[in-house]
Amino acid sequence: MNTAERHAKIVEWVLEKGSISIAEIARLFNVSEMTARRDLNELDRQGLLRRVHGGAIANLGRSYEPPFNTRATKNQPAKRAIGRKAAELVYDGDSIALDVGTTTLEIVPHLKARRNLTIVTSCLQIANAVVNHLSLEVDARLILTGGIVRPRELSMIGAMAERIYQELHVDKAFIGVGGISLEDGLTEYNLEDTQIKQVLLRTAREKIVVADSSKFGVTAFASIAPLSAIDAIVTDTNAPHAMVEALEKMGIQVYLTEPDSEMAFGGRDEPSTRSHV
């Protein structure tokens, strides 16, 4: 692997993990720590990451949205467990909205036991998963909002998508977010997606955020709504305990899911769950 290839891999690692240490570079790429420091200094000079003591962190603003496919590979065991728990909140005959997101996507495979659902989505990735996992003749009626398709994200935005969500009043909306903060509420990276989420929060009977613990304490670019706008959050057991307690005191139901060890290592997909009521 030449220097340019190594630099690209280092940047990719930082984008996915948020940080990298000098020792990790030396171990991952079989180079000396002196070479690792030179790599980080050069990448910092190019503005591709930010050099800190002992390593580097991502040099990204709040409006930077990691690509869908990159996000889909992060925290997969937690997202699968969250998807399973969220699906348990859906009953036969429900109308549900599945917002764009890699965690909302994980709800779909666990809806197989449900019947007569109406599923509304503005996400082509989720629509495709519904077609692959559910029978449109028996299990679900699928409604796509239409709109302008965002490249790579494959979510539909714009006036058409907003209008459909304004006119449909679903039983439950499962909403993905970029960040959850006690001070800043619910936030998102992309302004157009934010506007879609705001409509959902106004029209759905029950509003449920699905987000893994990495979103807690994070503030992204655009404000979606205050925390008081939602009824429940489904997350994993790594969510900060103090934040979970604060959310519960606000009257928000927090469901905590814990993937078992076999699932975490790519084995059996059977999370154990408990809820905080």
Specify whether 242 is located in the same domain as 176: yes
pLDDT tens sequence across 234-254: 999 999 999 999 999 999 999
Please give the tally of structural domains in the chain. Answer: 2
Q: Determine the pLDDT at residue 44.
A: 87
Give mean pLDDT, residues 126-138: 95
Specify whether 41 is located in the same domain as 139: no
Of residues 126 and 113, which shows the higher confidence score?
126
Specify the residue for token string 């759905």.
204
Structure tokens at 95: 């109308």
Three state DSSP letters for the chain: CCHHHHHHHHHHHHHHHCEEEHHHHHHHHCCCHHHHHHHHHHHHHCCCCEEECCEEECCCCCCCCCCHHHHHCCCHHHHHHHHHHHHHCCCCCCEEEECCCHHHHCCHHHHCCCCCEEEEECEHHHHHHHHHHCCCCCCEEEEECCCEECCCCCEEECHHHHHHHHHCCCCEEEECCCEEECCCEEEECCHHHHHHHHHHHHHCCEEEEECCHHHECCCCCEEEECHHHCCEEEEECCCCHHHHHHHHHCCCEEEEEECCHHHHCCCCCCCEEEEEC
Question: Does residue 245 lie in a domain region?
Answer: yes
- Decide if pLDDT at 276 tops 70: no
Of the chain, the percentage scoring pLDDT greater than 70 comes to 88
pLDDT tens sequence across 199-233: 999 999 999 999 999 899 888 889 999 999 999 99
CA distances to 88, 135, 142, 244 from 117, rounded to whole Å, are 13, 10, 8, 31
Specify whether 9 is located in the same domain as 83: no
CB neighbour burial string for 118-149, b if at least 16 within 10 angstroms, e if fewer? bbbbbbbbbbebbeeebeeeebbebbbbebeb
Q: Determine the pLDDT at residue 46.
A: 82
Residue 165: pLDDT band by 50, 70, 90 thresholds? very high
Question: Does residue 63 lie in a domain region?
Answer: no
Q: Determine the pLDDT at residue 273.
A: 40
Question: Does residue 62 lie in a domain region?
Answer: no
Q: Determine the pLDDT at residue 167.
A: 97
How many whole angstroms separate alpha carbon 81 and alpha carbon 147? 31
* Structural contact between residues 146 and 120, judged by C-beta atoms closer than 8 angstroms: no
Q: What is the CATH number of the domain that holds 89?
A: 3.40.50.1360
Specify whether 16 is located in the same domain as 81: no
Question: Does residue 208 lie in a domain region?
Answer: yes
Of 38, 57, 76, the last residue of a domain is 57
Specify whether 22 is located in the same domain as 107: no
- The residues pairing with 207 across neighbouring beta strands, listed in sequence order, are 173
Domain that holds residue 85: 68-276
* Structural contact between residues 226 and 188, judged by C-beta atoms closer than 8 angstroms: no
Specify whether 48 is located in the same domain as 101: no
- Decide if pLDDT at 14 tops 80: yes
- Decide if pLDDT at 18 tops 80: no
Backbone angles phi, psi at 108, to 5 degrees: -55, -50
Specify whether 96 is located in the same domain as 49: no
Give mean pLDDT, residues 69-98: 90
Give mean pLDDT, residues 126-131: 96
- Decide if pLDDT at 74 tops 80: no
Specify whether 117 is located in the same domain as 236: yes
pLDDT tens sequence across 31-51: 999 999 999 999 988 877 888
Specify whether 37 is located in the same domain as 89: no
Specify whether 102 is located in the same domain as 198: yes
* Structural contact between residues 18 and 58, judged by C-beta atoms closer than 8 angstroms: yes
How many whole angstroms separate alpha carbon 111 and alpha carbon 27? 42
- Decide if pLDDT at 264 tops 80: no
Specify the residue for token string 């659902």.
117
Of the chain, the percentage scoring pLDDT greater than 90 comes to 69
What is this structure's pTM? 0.75
Question: Does residue 167 lie in a domain region?
Answer: yes
Question: Does residue 14 lie in a domain region?
Answer: yes
Specify whether 209 is located in the same domain as 86: yes
Specify whether 42 is located in the same domain as 163: no
Nearest partner of 224 among 243, 249, 207, judged by Cα: 207
Of 17, 33, 57, the last residue of a domain is 57
Mean pLDDT of all residues belonging to the chain? 88
Give mean pLDDT, residues 13-30: 88
Q: What is the CATH number of the domain that holds 49?
A: 1.10.10.10
